[in-house]
Amino acid sequence: MVPATVGSLVRRRLREIGRSPSELAEAIAVPPQYIADLIAGSRRPPLPERTDIYPKMTSFLRLRRNEVVACARAERADAAPTRSVAPGVRVRGLLLTLCEPTTARALEQRRTARGDAELADLLQRVLDVTQGAVRRTLDDQIGLRLQAAERGCTYLTMRFKVLEFLDVTAASLTQQDLRDFVAPRIALWDVDLQTGVLRVVLRAQGPRDRTPRVAS
């Protein structure tokens, strides 16, 4: 039977194996407060495809394979919103500056006439593509440490920033998220208003990747 929440599963297993939340935090490379919030239920468990913590957590807590992932998926499904919610006005405007200009104007006209639902869904899809690209940075410790050095912060702080961004939605996206993660990766996005096909051109992220990649 899947436990009610990831927090309850973590709390129970820590007690059973005689380990502390801070030891778990060190094992999965997150701040201690991250685990405290997860246990308390004030932090929702991240999507399995948007994090790397679950394999490490499974090993540390000596859980069955996919046990914590199944729990996270069930908890997220129970709390899932019924519809997409548009970001705030300023964030929406900044996201539209990355869109093909003619399409951006058409989307704003349609939003005025029809409401936020269509644009909210599109912006969430753009964010999903961005998060997919950012997720890969968790697998590159050297690159992440270089980013931390460039920003004058610790590796753990930089890693936490990435994990936090990977869990945002279009509704909770901030201007700082846009500056730190979205704008550096999205060169242009566009959508066919007839078919709904989304095209996102990603910026090259390093000397070995000079050709922008396209995701749709």
The verdict on 96 and 140 lying in the same domain is: yes
User: What CATH number is given to the structural domain containing 54?
Assistant: 1.10.260.40
pLDDT score of 4? 78
Amino acid, res. 97? T
> Is there a domain that residue 84 lies in?
no
Residue 209 has what pLDDT? 40
Query: Are both 156 and 110 inside the same structural domain?
Result: yes
Predicted pLDDT at 211: 37
Placement of tokens 């039977």 in the chain: 1
List of residues 6+ apart from 58 with CB closer than 8 A: 64, 65, 66, 67, 68
Q: Of the residues 47, 79, 111, which one is the last residue of a structural domain?
A: 79
DSSP symbols for 83-136: S--PPPHHHHHHHHHTB-HHHHHHHHHHHHHH-SHHHHHHHHHHHHHHHHHHHG
> Over the stretch 84-135, which tens digit does the pLDDT of each residue have?
777 889 999 999 999 999 999 999 999 999 999 999 999 999 999 999 999 9
Q: What angle do CA 91, 92, 95 make, to 5 degrees?
A: 85
Yes or no: say if 25 and 35 are a contact pair by the CB < 8 Å rule.
yes
| Residue 119 shares a structural domain with residue 210 | yes
Contact 213, 130 (CB under 8 A): no
Q: What's at 90, amino acid-wise?
A: R
The predicted pLDDT at position 3 comes to 56
Low-confidence ranges of the chain (pLDDT < 50): 207-216
Mark whether 211 and 138 lie in a shared domain: yes
pLDDT given at position 214 = 41
Indicate if 32 and 122 belong to the same structural domain: no
Q: Tell me if 27 is assigned to some domain.
A: yes
Cβ count within 10 A of residue 206: 9
- Per-residue confidence (pLDDT) for residue 206, from 0 to 100: 55
- How much is the pLDDT for 210? 36
114 & 65 share domain: no
Structural domains of the chain, count:
2
Taking CA 99 as the corner, what is the angle to CA 98 and CA 100, rounded to the nearest 5 degrees? 125
Same domain for 118 and 71: no
- Rounded to 10 degrees, what is the CA torsion of 74, 76, 81, 85? -150
* Helix, strand and coil in the chain, % to nearest 5: 60, 10, 30
Q: Which residues contact 39 (CB under 8 A, 6 or more apart)?
A: 7, 10, 11, 21
pLDDT of residue 104: 97
- The boundaries of the domain holding residue 124 are 89-215
**Angle at which helices 89-97 and 101-114 pack, to 10 degrees?**
150
Assess whether 41 and 142 both reside in one domain. Answer: no
Same domain, 75 and 97: no
- CA 12, CA 19: separation in Å to the nearest integer? 10
Residue 66 to residue 45: CA distance in whole angstroms: 14
Q: Is the domain of 182 the same as that of 113?
A: yes
pLDDT for the residue 119: 93
